[in-house]
Amino acid sequence: MPELNKASSHSDNPSDVVVITGASAGVGRATAHAFAKRGTRIGLIARGTTGLAAAQSEVEALGGTALAVPTDVADPDQVESAASTIEESLGPITTWVNNAMTTVFAPLREITPEEFKRATEVTYLGTVYGTMAALRRMIPRNRGVIVQVGSALAYRSIPLQAPYCGAKHAIRGFTDSLRSELIHDRSHIHLTMVQLPAMNTPQFSWCRTRLPRHPQPVPPIYQPEVAARAIVWAATHRRREVNVGGSTDKAIWANKLAPAILDSYLARHAYESQQTNEPVEPNRPDNLFQPVPGDFGTQGIFHNVASGISFQAFETTHRGWVGITAGLLTGATIAILLNRKH
């Protein structure tokens, strides 16, 4: 096992230093893999040391440089200290990806104020503190990219996930406000948000739940590598916001057009769609206040129903090629039809 807080390996792209929060599992760890394949130097931030160590080994095996810094993103002093440690070891931070999250699956009446506060501190304020730490370093240099990992639930909330939905809505509001400030200052720092669909990550096996049956993401479900590719793309292109998955587009547009209808629809269907048929194990550990021991990897338990590709994500990140291809196909179709008439 590599020693935590000690960088190793060699980078083929020494100008890039990427920080990823929530890097020990799920989307954060998959994103670390994706950046590592580019030869990037990566600061890995999370609480769980076992998962961080495994992520560090994987980054190095894929050709990147890894520095694992155990950090609770709900503590601004820890986040600031982690940023300083990463810059001292790897160099100036060029990209910061805010991805860390936790939540409670339960009706609001069954969530305590302490639980709601903690979920908000990690998911929302962790993003704020990460952004602040990044800006302290990027503003004097007048360059850098900050990627906020969001969700379709930043636009359309669902029942049983009030802490998570509230945090993702807050991140979007915070990001929009900050973006206007950066534009006002004529800053060259790019701020973007990636809105994700349901993902097959370990969170459904380790987040706190009071549901009678095992929680699950609302189908359709995608593998975290789909999100990782979009996050890397967002970090290297100047798009204001990137939606991933057709379900994300549908949720956002449906909420714009008929929010009241969606309220009723979700009230009828979203309880069942967020639970499997399996009961929750008694006294299962959760990561709300402390990390769950062990290494959970990138993917969750829903392999059989999760897709590793998204045609919508490909289209949104390849608009030029898709437009050219569509134009050529249209032209070819018209030509064929005209030839048939003659």
3-state DSSP helix/strand/coil % of the chain, to nearest 5: 50, 15, 30
pLDDT of residue 311: 85
- Structural domains in the chain, CATH included, are 17-309 (3.40.50.720)
Contact 100, 201 (CB under 8 A): no
d(CA 57, CA 66): 8
Q: Give pLDDT < 50 ranges for the chain.
A: 1, 8-13, 322-330, 332
- Helices 26-36, 224-236: crossing angle, 10 deg rounding: 50
Catalytic residue numbers, as ranges: 164
Strand 213-215 vs strand 275-279: parallel, antiparallel, or unpaired?
A: antiparallel
Q: What type of residue sits at position 167?
A: A
Global confidence as pTM: 0.90
Give the span between the Cα atoms of 151 and 173, in whole angstroms. Answer: 13
Whether the CB-CB separation of 232 and 31 falls below 8 Å is answered with yes
Lookup: tokens for 14: 């020494």
Q: State how far the Cα of 218 lies from the Cα of 215, in Å rounded to an integer.
A: 9
How far apart are alpha carbons 28 and 34 in whole angstroms?
A: 10
- Sequence-distant (≥ 6) Cβ neighbours of residue 219 within 8 angstroms: 198, 273, 305
pLDDT reported for residue 334: 52
pLDDT at 323: 46
Amino acid at 5: N
Q: What local confidence, expressed as pLDDT, does residue 326 receive?
A: 42
Alpha helices (runs of H) in the chain, residue ranges in sequence order: 26-36, 49-61, 76-90, 113-120, 126-141, 162-184, 203-206, 224-236, 246-257, 259-273, 311-317, 319-341
CA distance 122 to 57: 25
| pLDDT score at 320 | 54
Residue 298 near residue 201, CB atoms below 8 Å? yes
Chain center to CA of 231:
7
96, 146 in Cβ contact below 8 A?
A: yes
Q: What is the pLDDT of residue 8?
A: 45
